Amino acid sequence: MKLEIKKISLSSLIFSGFSLVIFFTALVLGFLAIFVIPNPIWIPVSFFGKLLAVILYALTLFIITMAYVIFLVFIYNFFVGVIGMKGIRFSIEEVEE
């Protein structure tokens, strides 16, 4: 069966598990950047200061990444819907068990 993606809903992208995956990935990256990787800037900062830095780092990275993904989806919808270019096509085969 051949399928083509004609439109990607922005609300389904924002309010789905995808945004949670992006946020938790940003939290892990923030933890690694501040607690694990040695950096002399973070030596005099207290534990709660580092924890606040992780949260702010994750929030900033999450907002930037989601804005970029939403921009890409908007551009994709524009080219496929308004201009009339072909969307992403893929084939699915049923496998008998």
As beta bridge partners, residue 90 has 3
Q: What is the DSSP letter of 15?
A: T
Give me the residues paired with residue 5 across strands: 88
**pLDDT digit of tens for each residue in the chain (97 aa)?**
888 888 989 888 889 999 999 999 999 999 999 999 988 888 899 999 999 999 999 999 999 999 999 999 999 999 998 988 888 888 888 888 7
- Taking the whole predicted model, whether its pTM rises above 0.75 is answered as yes
- Cα angle 9, 67, 54 (rounded to 5 degrees) comes to 125
CB 87 within 8 A of CB 80: yes
